[in-house]
Amino acid sequence: MPLRLLNSSAGLRNDNQTLAAPYALALLLVAAALASTLLLQTVYVGRPPLFPFFAAIAAAAWFGGKGPGYFASAVSVPLGLYFYVVARPDHDLHFRDFLLFVFFATCAFLGGALNSRHRKTEDGLRSAHRDLQAKATELQHANDALLAEMAERRRTEATLEAMRSKLGRVMRLTTMAEMAASIAHEINQPLTAIVTNGETCVRWLNAAEPNIAEAQDAAKRAVRDAERASQVVSRIRAMVRNALADREQVSLQACLDDVLALLLADLTAHQIEIRCEVPPALPTLFGDRIQLQQVFFNLLTNAIESLSETTGRQRDITISAERGRENTVVILLRDNGAGFQDCEPEQLFDSFVTTKPSGMGMGLSISRTIVETHGGTLTASRAIPHGAAFAITLPLSGEEP
């Protein structure tokens, strides 16, 4: 408690000292003005000029504010009275001197008031400037934080897209692998039986005494097994046809947008510029949306893979669509990658034809099958001066999008 008392009294003392300092300075300045005026009086004939007092008042108001300014004026006025009236060499009191004194006193008070006001305005401006700077810094920080957040969001979105497209690819590969395994399994059994029955038939025919009846039986069994294998293939075809049973109206633009969204991360990662121009009033297609997406996905994935190894020029993919003959649409998809180097474009549509170390060579053949099942055509050609071009023709439904 005493300590607090001590502290508060010390604080009071400090406050008083702070308050008194500008007045002391004002007094000092007026004293300096007096000294310099007295000095001037020794070299001047007549009344010395009193401008040192104006300077003292202006300085006191500038450094101390309104109070010290008025204080300096109040102290200077009697001194002015002394120089104008009392200290005249002839000691005669003239009205003119009195007027001059009044003029001096008015100027002294006005000078103090104006200077302190000027100082106040300048202080206000300075503080507003400081506030503005603080606000600008705050805004800059907020902006930086927002930009960082946006960059982080873009990174997360790109990672998500990359994961999604990877997942899509893995799922497609898994489905294909499963389908291939089940086809192999179903076909393998009749094929083994055909081989066995064929060998039996040959054995009966090659015997010392050929047994024609047994050979015929074995040959018939081989034929029956071959028919079974063919039924398996027919069943798979029927399955594919059934999968196409529920066709719907498909907007080409929406279909391309979905595929491009899936491939966005890959396109961005390889700095590929993509231009997609589909006429807005193009009627819809009629088909299996997922399968049509699969076609664009395959073609675009191939284009991206080719472009990812292309250097020395801007990497571009262009997709355009225009109405063809007899209510069809012709979709052109071209890239400026390496193109088809050693092969004839038509050969690439055969199953298992690939130039990639880890390629399966199924993408183009599946794509052509899908397009043909939709009543269209898919062809490839070399693009001029670089790259590959694919043309897909598909019938339009006639319905507005």
Residues that bind ligand ADP (CB under 6 A): 298, 302-303, 306, 335, 337-340, 348, 353-356, 359-364, 388
Q: How far is the CB of 381 from ligand ADP (least distance, A)?
A: 11
Q: How far is the CB of 313 from ligand ADP (least distance, A)?
A: 15
Question: Tokens for 77?
Answer: 């006025």
Q: How far is the CB of 314 from ligand ADP (least distance, A)?
A: 16
Distance CA 207, CA 199 (A): 12
Q: How far is the CB of 303 from ligand ADP (least distance, A)?
A: 4
CA diameter of the chain: 174
Nearer to ligand ADP, 73 or 306 (CB): 306
Q: Which alpha helices (H) appear in 244-333, and where do they start and end? A: 252-269, 289-308
Nearer to ligand ADP, 361 or 395 (CB): 361
Nearer to ligand ADP, 65 or 337 (CB): 337
Distance CA 106, CA 112 (A): 10
Nearer to ligand ADP, 209 or 342 (CB): 342
CA angle 173, 179, 182 (to 5 degrees): 140
Q: How far is the CB of 174 from ligand ADP (least distance, A)?
A: 15
Q: How far is the CB of 347 from ligand ADP (least distance, A)?
A: 9
CA angle 159, 297, 239 (to 5 degrees): 120
Residue nearest to ligand ADP (CB): 363
Dihedrals φ, ψ of 44, to 5°? -95, 140
Torsion of CA 365, 366, 371, 377, to 10 degrees: 0
Nearer to ligand ADP, 41 or 354 (CB): 354
Nearer to ligand ADP, 116 or 298 (CB): 298
Nearer to ligand ADP, 72 or 303 (CB): 303
- Give the N- to C-terminal CA distance of the chain in Å, as an integer: 86
2 C-beta neighbours (distance < 10 Å), count: 6
Q: How far is the CB of 320 from ligand ADP (least distance, A)?
A: 16
Nearer to ligand ADP, 178 or 350 (CB): 350
Q: How far is the CB of 326 from ligand ADP (least distance, A)?
A: 28
Distance CA 98, CA 112 (A): 21
Q: Give per-residue burial for 149-172: e unless 16+ CB within 10 Å, then b.
A: eeeeeeeeeeeebeeebeebeeeb
Question: Tokens for 201?
Answer: 């038939």
Distance CA 80, CA 112 (A): 15
Q: Which residues have a Cβ under 8 Å from the Cβ of 186 and sit 6 or more positions away?
A: 232
Single-letter amino acid, residue 300 = L
Q: How far is the CB of 368 from ligand ADP (least distance, A)?
A: 9
CB 371 within 8 A of CB 361: no
- Where is 335: in which H helix or E strand? strand 328-335
Nearer to ligand ADP, 287 or 339 (CB): 339
Place of tokens 């503005």: 132
